């Protein structure tokens, strides 16, 4: 008999800020937080003091005590911790992106496909109420044929911290594109029902993080200066699907422009515009019923905690033994697009993804 959600003993691998955030959500959902693991002693001490649970330096010791794990480590280490969990039959919620490289992502996906446990990738923005409303209206045909999505995830100044793992190529696998772009790419493909992608053309840039004179108000980690930065801080890309739908992508950790988190979903029946972070949502259309006119409709809904909804879905699927989750395959598709954008920028040409 499958245990109820509250009986699924869960551990967290990687006890940084996002690990603490997941721990708080577990407590809100009344899921058993059984322990945590981190290679850093300071992180283990802080986690144990805050949540009064056992902590481990070796993930195998944690795996001996749990039914499920949430992996929040730097991207390079996703493969080791996820594959070991699959081999032990543990359920895995793996923070995005799937990995730091396409090759590593492919190995994770292969291991997940052969596992007897559930795996879900942390694309939490899918669970935002505004996104759910847009997806529902697309699915019921209100937008007509959706042909193009504009996706923006742009910060004016938001480099996580030069010298942190986020800004190290060998650990993160990239910069703003693999950090913010992964969310934007997943969200656009999710709204389009994950069509096959034909080609990608893009440019990545390092214009601010490598600048000694980079001016900022705050970072989320200590600033080591340009010596601690060898990744992209912005990217522009154009994605074409096999059925000739398109996506334009703008992501940035730093730009000399106002921040922008706007997504515009263009359809033949109407268009949807929403702000990913603020929750603003509106629909735009035209009509010949009566005199020709344009219609702009604002939608107001409650903001919700997307990580909590993501966790709720993960544990409910485990409890129901519901295998209906293809987020691993979708995360691999996102990783292929990210890899293609980086290659397109490096080689100065369009990259075919369908070959």
| Class of residue 236 by CB neighbours under 10 A (exposed 0-12, middle 13-18, buried 19+) | middle
pLDDT in tens, 218-237: 999 999 999 999 999 999 99
Residue 313 φ/ψ, nearest 5 degrees: -65, -45
- pLDDT average, residue stretch 41-54: 98
Say which CATH architecture domain 5-125+308-324 belongs to.
3-Layer(aba) Sandwich (3.40)
Three-state secondary structure along 18-77?
Answer: HHHHHHHHHHHCCCCEEEEECCCHHHHHHHHHHHCCEEECCHHHHHCCCCEEEECCCHHH
Residues forming beta bridges with residue 200, ordered by sequence position? 239, 351
Structure tokens at 343: 């290659």
List, for residues 81-137, the tens digit of each pLDDT value: 999 999 999 999 999 999 999 999 999 999 999 999 999 999 999 999 999 999 999
pLDDT digits 0-9 by tens, 143-182: 999 999 999 999 999 999 999 999 999 999 999 999 999 9
pLDDT of 72 reads 98
CATH architecture designation of domain 126-303+335-352: 2-Layer Sandwich (3.30)
pLDDT averaged over every residue in the chain: 96
Residue closest to 165 by CA, chosen among 117, 111, 108, 228: 228
Mean pLDDT confidence for 264-277: 98
The residues spanned by each domain of the chain are: 5-125+308-324, 126-303+335-352
Structure tokens at 111: 């291991």
CA–CA distance from 172 to each of 231, 236, 318, 346 (Å)?
A: 9, 19, 29, 18
Query: How far apart (Å, rounded) are the C-alpha atoms in residues 16 and 40?
Result: 10
Of the candidates 151, 240, 152, the one whose C-alpha atom is nearest the C-alpha of residue 191 is 151
For residue 180, what are its two tokens? 């913010």
Is a pLDDT exceeding 70 seen at residue 245? yes
């Amino acid at each position: 008999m499958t245990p109820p959600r509250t009986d699924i003993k869960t551990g967290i691998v990687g006890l940084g800020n996002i690990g603490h955030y997941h721990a708080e959500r577990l407590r809100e959902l009344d899921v058993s937080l059984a322990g945590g693991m981190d290679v850093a002693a300071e992180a283990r001490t802080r986690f144990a003091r805050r949540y009064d649970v056992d902590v481990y330096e070796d993930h195998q010791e944690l795996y001996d005590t749990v039914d499920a794990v949430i992996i929040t480590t730097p991207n390079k280490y996703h493969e080791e911790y996820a594959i070991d969990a699959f081999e032990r039959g543990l359920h895995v919620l793996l923070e995005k992106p799937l990995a730091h490289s396409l090759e590593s992502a492919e190995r994770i996906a292969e291991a997940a496909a052969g596992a007897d446990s559930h795996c879900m990738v942390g694309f939490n923005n899918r669970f935002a109420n505004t996104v759910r409303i847009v997806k529902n209206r697309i699915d019921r045909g209100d937008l007509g044929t959706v042909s193009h999505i504009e996706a923006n995830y742009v910060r004016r100044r938001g480099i996580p911290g030069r010298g942190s793992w986020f800004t190290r190529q060998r650990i993160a696998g990239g910069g703003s594109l693999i950090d913010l772009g992964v969310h934007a790419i997943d969200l656009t493909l999710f709204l389009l029902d994950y069509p096959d992608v034909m080609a990608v053309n893009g440019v990545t840039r390092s214009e601010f993080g490598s600048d000694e004179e980079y001016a900022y108000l705050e970072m989320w980690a200590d600033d080591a200066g340009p010596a601690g930065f060898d990744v992209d801080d912005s990217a522009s890309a154009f994605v074409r699907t096999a059925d000739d739908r398109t996506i334009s992508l703008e992501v940035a950790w730093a730009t000399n422009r106002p921040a922008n988190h706007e997504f515009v979903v263009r359809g033949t029946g109407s268009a949807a515009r929403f702000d990913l972070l603020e929750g603003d949502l509106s629909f735009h259309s035209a009509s010949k019923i009566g005199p020709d006119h344009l219609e702009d409709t604002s939608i107001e809904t409650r903001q919700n905690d997307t990580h909590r909804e993501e966790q709720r879905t993960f544990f409910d699927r485990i409890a129901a033994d519901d295998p209906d989750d293809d987020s691993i395959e979708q995360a691999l598709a996102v990783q292929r697009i990210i890899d293609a954008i980086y290659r397109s920028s490096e080689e100065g040409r369009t990259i075919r993804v369908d070959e």
